């Protein structure tokens, strides 16, 4: 089918959403508005099918495909996305009145809490109801109870995650809390028979990833990792992976994952924690340290905790959990990984625990079987000119500025093969030849049995079917382990050889790396499957 461009009135562009799901400066078509009515929306949340009104089925399809095409996607791929979104919409209508799913959320509060986006993604499904929220900060609990109440949910709030996990009337939990709590809370939820949507990065350490993976498999519960790039953003990342896996750009030589740099702070003043915050519970299994706060952008607590290696891994486990996950997908390495990692360069971080101690800028090289090099970098990647979309058009931002290609600091993945180059970000996908994108893939690599366009819906569907979601625990654990061994290479500064089957470092410097695969937990917390 040849897709023709339809006349449309405007394209609404958006920058970085408040939940941080797009990189700073990125742009993406949020909605394509036609003279008749809105037909299809493309945003950081993926595709949204809107009411077609009195349009004919054929007219609706034509306009929807044109909207996808206007976003720079090839016509053949737009057809697949449209078919997938149509099937998802039909599934929603087929849900029976008695098929209720009771959910709870652990880690709530006002923006920029990620749970707000996940709550919004789940509440749009009529069979979903929320009955409980949990947070160690009373201000967040109070906010959530009011927020959910306005939407018609009568929720009870909890400070201790064990209480909400113990409720027999809750079927599934959304967990969106600091990384150092991910494994313990998810394990408790699994023990209590809950299905889990667990935000990325899956865990704080390699050991935690292995323990959690085993627990999911042993329990038979459904766990979705919050790696929504596998479903959303117009399907661009899946398209890049399908093209790479199908051999469209030949043998993969290098992949650059541009994840951004970490902020710096210097020492942050120690102060008394807010009376509403249970600071000891927030710290949980990590060492007892003072609460530090100078501003919302300088603290060791809410959101900014990610710039401390004690609680997270900086951009390596923040954006790295997204982009290295896609690199793993492109190489067919889900559940596996590289054979080595080394620090190419890095700016040394602040020393100590009184300020941001993640490396401000860095470049890592992962070695994969077959001679593929994957780089994780804060910036300073390759500048590539001559990249175009599926229609042969150069990238254009929301001010109308035309770009000849991409620079080395553009957030996304640069995938180089011996027969072509692809760059994919959340707002666009480009190649050095439009035919790389525009010509249909004849042998579909079948990266997943279906083509979900909504990550939360994929989780909810699998809760019902008991099938594995697109970012199930093997995927999430495998990808976060790649992130963690990169952080270990940054910390040690030494080249490391990795055994992806044994999940251990081997050879020279192995002891330096292996001692960082796990971390001691503060009593009474223990890592138990």
> Residue 32: is its pLDDT beyond 50?
no
Which neighbouring-strand residues pair with 298? 295
17: pLDDT strictly greater than 50: no
Assess whether pLDDT exceeds 60 at residue 324.
yes
pLDDT for res 458: 97
pLDDT digits (tens, 9 = 90+) for 340-367: 999 999 999 999 999 999 999 999 999 9
**pLDDT in the model for residue 111:** 85
pLDDT over 70 (residue 18): no
User: What is the average per-residue pLDDT within 445-456?
Assistant: 95
pLDDT (tens digit per residue) in 135-162:
999 999 999 999 999 999 999 999 999 9
Q: What share of the chain is helix, strand, coil (3-state, %, to 5)?
A: 30, 20, 45
Per-residue tokens: 215? 């627990």
Tens digit of pLDDT for each residue in 287-299?
Answer: 999 999 999 889 9
Asked if 227 and 321 count as a contact pair (C-beta separation under 8 A), the reply is: yes
Alpha-carbon distance of 348 to 196, in angstroms, equals 37
Mean pLDDT of the chain: 89
Q: How confident is the model at residue 428 (pLDDT cuts 50, 70, 90)?
A: very high
Q: Mean pLDDT check: name the lowest of 1-5, 343-347, 418-422.
A: 1-5
Can you tell me the distance from the alpha carbon of 68 to that of 79, in angstroms, rounded to the nearest whole number?
9
Q: What is the pLDDT of residues 66-98, one digit of tens each?
A: 777 777 889 899 888 888 888 877 777 666 556
Report pLDDT for 46. Answer: 54
Whether the pLDDT of residue 50 is over 60: the answer is: no
Query: How confident is the model over 221-265, as pLDDT tens digits?
Result: 999 999 999 999 999 999 999 999 999 999 999 999 999 999 999
The least confident of 7-16, 390-399, 437-446, 503-512 is 7-16
Give the closest residue to 226 by CA, choosing from 123, 319, 333, 102.
319
The DSSP symbol for 506 reads E
pLDDT value at residue 444: 87
pLDDT at 42: 53
Kindly compute the dihedral angle of the four CA atoms of residues 413, 416, 422, 424, in this order, to the nearest 10 degrees. 0
Q: What is the pLDDT of residue 63?
A: 72
Q: What is the pLDDT of residue 373?
A: 98
Phi, psi of 354 (to 5 degrees): -95, 5
Neighbours of 129 (CB within 10 A): 17
């Amino acid at each position: 089918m040849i897709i023709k461009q339809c006349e449309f009135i405007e394209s609404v562009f958006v920058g970085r959403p408040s939940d941080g799901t797009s990189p700073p400066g990125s742009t993406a078509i949020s909605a394509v508005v036609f003279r008749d009515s809105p037909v299809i929306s493309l945003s950081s949340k993926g595709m949204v099918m809107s009411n077609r009104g009195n349009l004919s089925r054929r007219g609706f399809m034509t306009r929807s495909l044109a909207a996808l095409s206007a976003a720079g996607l090839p016509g053949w791929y737009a057809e697949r996305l449209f078919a997938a979104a149509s099937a998802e919409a039909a599934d929603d209508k087929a849900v029976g009145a008695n098929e209720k799913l009771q959910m709870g959320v652990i880690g709530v509060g006002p923006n920029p809490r990620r749970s707000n986006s996940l709550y919004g993604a789940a509440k749009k499904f009529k069979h979903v109801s929320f009955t409980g929220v949990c947070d160690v900060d009373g201000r967040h609990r109070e906010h959530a109870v009011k927020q959910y109440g306005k939407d018609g949910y009568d929720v009870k709030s909890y400070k201790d995650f064990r209480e909400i996990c113990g409720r027999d009337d809750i079927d599934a939990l959304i967990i969106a809390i600091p990384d150092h709590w991910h494994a313990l809370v998810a394990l408790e939820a699994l023990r209590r028979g809950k299905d889990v949507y667990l935000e990325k990065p899956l865990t704080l350490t390699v050991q935690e990833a292995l323990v959690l993976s085993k627990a999911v498999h042993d329990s038979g519960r459904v766990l979705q990792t919050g790696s929504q790039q596998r479903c959303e953003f117009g399907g661009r990342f899946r398209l890049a992976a399908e093209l790479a896996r199908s051999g469209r750009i030949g043998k993969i030589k290098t992949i650059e994952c541009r994840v951004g740099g970490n902020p710096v702070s210097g020492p942050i003043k120690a102060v008394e924690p807010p009376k509403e915050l249970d600071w000891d519970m927030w710290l949980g299994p990590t060492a007892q340290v003072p609460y530090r706060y100078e501003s919302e952008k300088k603290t060791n607590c809410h959101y900014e905790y990610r710039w401390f290696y004690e609680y997270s891994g900086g951009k390596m486990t923040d954006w790295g959990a997204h982009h290295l996950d896609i690199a793993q997908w492109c190489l067919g390495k889900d559940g596996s990984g590289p054979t080595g990692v080394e620090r190419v360069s890095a700016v040394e971080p602040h020393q100590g625990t009184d300020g941001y101690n993640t490396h401000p800028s860095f470049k890592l090289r992962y070695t994969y079987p077959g001679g593929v090099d994957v780089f994780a970098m804060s910036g300073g990647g390759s500048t590539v000119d001559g990249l175009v979309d599926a229609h042969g058009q150069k990238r254009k931002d929301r001010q109308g500025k035309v770009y000849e290609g991409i620079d080395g600091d553009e957030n996304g993945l640069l995938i180089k093969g011996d027969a072509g180059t692809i760059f994919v970000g959340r707002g666009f996908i480009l190649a050095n030849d439009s035919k790389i994108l525009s010509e249909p893939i004849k042998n579909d690599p079948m990266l997943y049995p279906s083509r979900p366009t909504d990550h939360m819906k994929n989780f909810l569907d699998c809760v019902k079917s008991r099938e594995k979601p697109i970012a199930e625990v093997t995927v999430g654990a495998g990808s976060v382990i790649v992130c963690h061994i990169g952080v270990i290479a940054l910390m040690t500064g030494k080249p490391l050889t990795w055994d992806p089957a044994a999940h251990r470092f081997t050879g020279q410097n192995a002891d330096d790396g292996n001692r960082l695969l796990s971390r001691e937990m503060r009593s009474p917390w223990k890592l138990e499957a």
